Structure 1
Amino acid sequence: MAAAVDDRFADLQNPKTCVVLGGRGFLGRSLVLKLLNLGNWIVRVADSAESIQLRSSESLLSDALSSARASYFHLKLWDKHNVAKVLEGASVIFYMDVAGLNPNDFYSCYTLIVQGAKNVISACRDCKVKRLIYNSSADVVFDGFHDIRNGDESLPYPWKIENIISDFKAQAEALILSANDIDGLLTCALRPSNVFGPGDRDFVPFFLELARIGFSKFIIGTGDNMSDFTFYENVTQAHICAAEALNFQTVSVAGKAFFITNLEPMKFWEFLSLLLEGLGYQRPHTKLPVNLVQLILSVLEWMHDKLGPGGFSYPLLVHFFQLATHNRTFSCAAARKELAYLPIVSLEEGITLTIESFSHLAREQSGCDGSTEQSKAAKLLGGGKVADVLLWRNEKTSFTCFIVMVLLFYWFFLSGSTFISSAAKFLMLVTFLLFGWGTLPSNLFGFQTKRISSSSFKISDSEMKGSVATTVHLLNNNYKNIRRLRKGEDWLMFFKIAIPLYFLKLILSAHKLTTFVGIGLVLAFTAFFVYEQYQSEIDLLAAILFILLNALMRYLMSVLSVLTSRLLHKFRKARPHKEPEVKELT
């Protein structure tokens, strides 16, 4: 036993060869740089890419590759012989996350995670590797339905995990831990919770994508659920601690799993709010009932099962929903005691560094306060004076215009006179007002009377030419449309003209023009204003309706295609097949 201890101390005094599987992933890159900075490791970087592509910020790795302190290997986790070739001669294996997993591809996920873990274990035993540290996840003990408060390593694996990747990682973790102390291999697993930081490709980008499409206003549930988060440099620090602990405290470390967090649990929605605010997005404030979101997810699940992914990742949405509505805090007491783990970057500092690294995805500041960028409602209205009136930019002006429009509506539609009679009376009233105003003295009871300039009634040559050009353009277009209709070939043009004319005919023939004009007047002064105030909520509802409509159309098309094929098959089967007659040539 003494000789074995001496060998381990000698191994620490000389450069050791380690392999970082998944060394070009989010956590793998950080761990590689950490190992090279320590100076007593020879690092093999192994990943799925055939060759390594260095970033400008990876000068340390570039120098290490040039000096043979680091090397790169093309890793094929599904190939046992390739894995053994990569691990041969190494003393420590850091098994990091597998990049590029598609949760909708069951076979690929199983091959890379579960079968990959089996191949790594087998290769470690064949190559006499001493230590294997697996980067697992806190998700392996979370079933998506029950809260976890200060959970420790005694938590069992759930009998069912909704997230397929977490399910496979739990299987891989169990395989690696059960391989401990076989053929001299010592193993342990780390379970970081909600890893984030610069270079993250999943956790933070997913939130930013939701914010970009307008979901940043919403909180699912009460928003009081607590969660643990882990800055990525703290995860790599935990891996270094685990590698050292496997040398000295094999009894208390080998074959076990350890939760890794920042030791600073906080509200999930507060964490998300800090990230979004730091990147210029609105802080979530509108609460959505959990039951409503569950109903929407049920519809999306049906779409996912019946029609396939359809442009969205249902597993990611479900995982986000589970994180956003449950308490998930973990105890790091075992990691602190057995691994001597302590975070080296605080949660506050980690959030700041993450915000800085994702500045290229930040929302433009001009759009945050609404002072320089027009809203969607203003853009729909053209952004001119009409938009200012209908969006109530100046309440006095908008109210005046509304009263004038109501009076005109009453004059032309509700007064009981015909439209022609009302128009004649209106022109007569305008004539009396203009003439009366012109006869007023310049000073009336001490008040100055402003004359209406004659230029107000003049139309410039440019305006007249523009009006004539527009009229001619419309006439020419209508003439072209009539010619296309005359040929009877363009059905799309026919429906474009016929349908609006049919609805206009219904409105006029049913004497409902007054009702439609009145409703249009009210909506013009309310609908755009309401849309501007609740733009995100309305866009969300429209997006949900669009998704449901799209799913319905796809389902109907699939049903119609099946019915059509069946009808054609029955028709062909029922129709007798006649052999073509062959006439002999004489």
Structure 2
Amino acid sequence: MPFDEAIPRTCVVLNGRGFVGRSLVLRLLELGQCIVRVTDSTQSLQLDPSESNSLLSDSLSSGRAEYHQVDVRDISQIKKVLEGASTVFYMDATDLNTDDFYNCYMIIVQGAKNVVTACREWKVRRLVYNSTADVVFDGSHDIHNGDETLTCRWKFQDLMCDLKAQAEALVLFANNIDGLLTCALRPSNVFGPGDTQLVPLLVNLAKPGWTKFIIGSGENMSDFTYVENVAHAHVCAAEALDSRMVSVAGMAFFITNLEPIKFWDFLSIILEGLGYQRPFIKLPTGVVWYIILLVKWIHEKFGLRTYNHSLSACYIVQLASRTRTFDCIAAQKHTGYSPVVSLEEGVSSTIQSFSHLARDSSLAYSRDFNEQSKVEKLLGGGKVADILLWKDEKKTFTYFLVLVLLFYWFFLGGSTLTSSAAKFLLLLSAVLFGYGILPSNIFGFNVKRISPSCFELSETVIKDSIARIAFLWNMGFRNIRLLAKGDDWNTFFKVAGSLYLSKLMLQSFTWSIGLALVFAFTAFFVYEQYEPEIDGLAKFLFNYLKKSKVSLIRNVPAPVVSFLYDCKILHEHKAPAEGNDRKRLQ
């Protein structure tokens, strides 16, 4: 500015109530060498409880800071607040609805045009634009120590990056016109207290257990920048525009903490600091990518309104799986920038500021092992449940090994089922007879005799078995009688589906038995271990299908919809919207 002049200058921080804007305002007030005009789109300044007795509130009272409502889409409001200003900082607009392209364009791109025009008209000396390092990232290639020779991409996966690149170009192109000096800063992955994106997103994903997954190898490096360092970089850039005008004006500079770290290590530190489990399950990037492409195709096919979210998901996967590190030598050399807060200090401060989002141990999911889990109740909670849930690993493995040997004996041994059964009974008879003639003591080891009761069945068990067979027979006869009437479509679909499934299983009977064996000893155990995550996924899919049902019905032929309603598969009283669609189609 320079900030050490005797007469204080006036600085304007556009969008000064955003994440980075707030930190910059405090940085300027701490320096105490300029009057700070803070602007935002809200009608009046609403201070947070933490700001009630802060430097900002004191400065507003003393006149060292002023607040102005400014809509950057209205150039007259910008001109009014820039009158008499020597330096303008144009910061990020926050909480934009990315589904509204026109509004985003008007605020980011048209807003940049209006700011440049107003600065030129009022002969503002310096304009510093807060851009992003994402403007040089195409999502397909890693960036290792990228410098300012990297060019902006022509095509972006993310809408906001595209618009930010356009706004940055407008600001830099306006350099040295009508005496205006401009530059842009490109911070990478900004984080810190007051963050509205990174940490809240992590917490929202961590609550249902999604942050247990690592996309890719987990070895990709990234640069993160603490918010106070970004604010400090803006002050350095504004000062450098005067003292080192040729090397700074019209240029863009990367800003980082100068401490590259593995992307997933950084997230793990944040999550652990807030009491959540760090990621540990690796998912191939290709698998995640195909899932997102499938969701994107569904959005396009059925015209769902959430289409832009699939684009954002694609971009998040790219950020999480690619290396993105940047070289800050140019910023250090030409602007004098150097981090004022280390990465470790920044992370610690961030975790402390988000303590209200930390995992509440009293509400966190933790199983009481004296209480049966869902799957244990499903299996009846007896010996079968203990075996399939691996309560006793040795016992379960023994049963699994025996069943695998039996499976091989009957289905993979090359003999017919009858001959395999005969051989098995012959072997079993020889083993039992041999075990029976063993001496009671062999080299000091006692041989326990098999009790005859092991081969006996009580009258109750036999009666229950016969009753069960009779019940199944009667239920089958009842279903056949309902089919013969020809007026119960639900029963028809159930019976036909069951028979068709049985036909498919009989066609590949051996593989079906093998898969069932593996499934029984793995699926129940996995579900018990990851019950919250699996339930959360099921709930997400159910809600997604429920929200998509209206769009799906609109794309189904009218006769099919009528048929489904006649079969009572769709219920009008539970889904009035679908009923309207049916009437429309009819």
TM surpasses 0.5: yes
The counterpart of 2:47, out of the listed 40, 54, 58, is: 54
Count residues in correspondence: 477
> Which secondary structure state, in structure 1, belongs to the residue aligned with residue 211 of structure 2?
coil
1:395 aligned to which of 383, 392, 395: 392
Is residue 366–residue 372 contact of structure 1 (8 Å, CA) maintained in 2?
no
1:37 aligns with 2:42: no
Which residue in 2 is equivalent to 1:530? 526
Change (3 A) 1:119 1:390: farther
> Could you say which residue in structure 2 is the equivalent of 1:301?
296
Distance in 2 between the 1:195 and 1:284 partners?
21
Q: What secondary structure, in the 3-state scheme, does the structure 2 residue paired with 1:12 have?
A: coil
- 1:12: how far off? 2.3
Task: Give the superposition deviation at 1:122.
Answer: 0.4
TM-score computed with the length of structure 1 as normaliser = 0.71
- Structure 1 residues 330 and 374, CA gap change in structure 2 (3 angstroms): farther
Cα offsets for 1:474-526 (capped at 9, x unmatched): xxxxxxxxxxxxxxxxx9xx999x7999799989x99x9xxx9xx99998886
Which residue, 242, 257, 260 being the options, matches 1:262? 257
Which of 301, 318, 322 is the matching residue for 1:322? Answer: 318
Task: Report the TM-score when normalising by structure 2.
Answer: 0.71
Aligned to 2:509: none
Cα offset for 1:530?
2.4
What are the ranges of 5 or more consecutive residues in structure 1 without an aligned counterpart?
Answer: 1-7, 407-413, 415-424, 432-490, 566-586
Amino acid at match of 1:13: A
User: Aligned to 1:331, which of 321, 327, 333?
Assistant: 327
Shift of 1:154: 1.0
Structure 2 counterpart of 1:75: 70
C-alpha distance in 1, partners of 2:518/2:170?
67
Structure 1 residue aligned with 2:189: 194
Query: Which residue does the alignment assign to 1:20?
Result: 13
Paired residue type of 1:256? M
Compare 275-284 and 540-549 and name the one that shifted more.
540-549
The Cα shift of 1:386 comes to 3.0
Q: Helix, strand or coil: the match of 2:556?
A: helix
How far apart are the structure 1 equivalents of 2:220 and 2:265? 10
**1:365-386 C-alpha deviation (Å, 9 max, x unpaired):** 36779465999x8156569993
Name the structure 1 match of 2:358. 362
- How far the C-alpha of 1:359 sits from its partner, in A, is 1.8
Mapped to 2, the partners of 1:256 and 1:501 lie a distance apart of: 69
Cα deviation, residue 199, structure 1:
0.8
- Is 1:288–2:283 an aligned residue pair? yes
Task: Report the secondary structure of 1:386's partner residue.
Answer: coil
> What amino acid sits opposite 2:526 in the alignment?
V
Query: Are the structure 2 counterparts of residues 92 and 552 from structure 1 closer, same or farther at C-alpha, using a change threshold of 3 Å?
Result: closer
Q: For residue 336 of structure 1, what is the amino acid of its counterpart?
A: Q
Aligned residues of 2:189 and 2:225 also touching (Cα < 8 A) = yes
SS at match of 2:233: helix
Deviation at residue 291 of structure 1 after TM alignment: 1.4
Q: Counterparts of 1:96-107 in structure 2 under 5 Å? A: 96-107=91-102
Aligned partners of 1:178 and 1:374: how far apart in 2?
69
In the alignment, which of 347, 354, 374 is matched to residue 351 of structure 1? 347
Q: Residues 349-498 of structure 1: matches in 2 within 5 Å? A: 349-365=345-361, 370=366, 378-379=373-374, 386=381, 389=386, 392=389, 394-395=391-392, 426-428=457-459
CA RMSD of aligned residues (A): 4.3
Contact 1:220 1:290 in 2 (8 A): yes
Question: CA, structure 1 residues 290+168, in 2 after alignment: closer, same or farther (shift >3 Å)?
Answer: same
Q: Partner residue of 1:144?
A: 139
Are the aligned partners of 2:73 and 2:114 in contact in 1 as well (CA < 8 Å)? yes
Offset of residue 278 of structure 1 = 1.5
**In the alignment, residue 336 of structure 2 is paired with which amino acid?**
A
Name which of 136, 144, 149 aligns with 1:154: 149
Write the deviation string for residues 214-269 of structure 1: whole angstroms up to 9, x where unpaired: 22121111111111110111000101111111121111111111100000011111
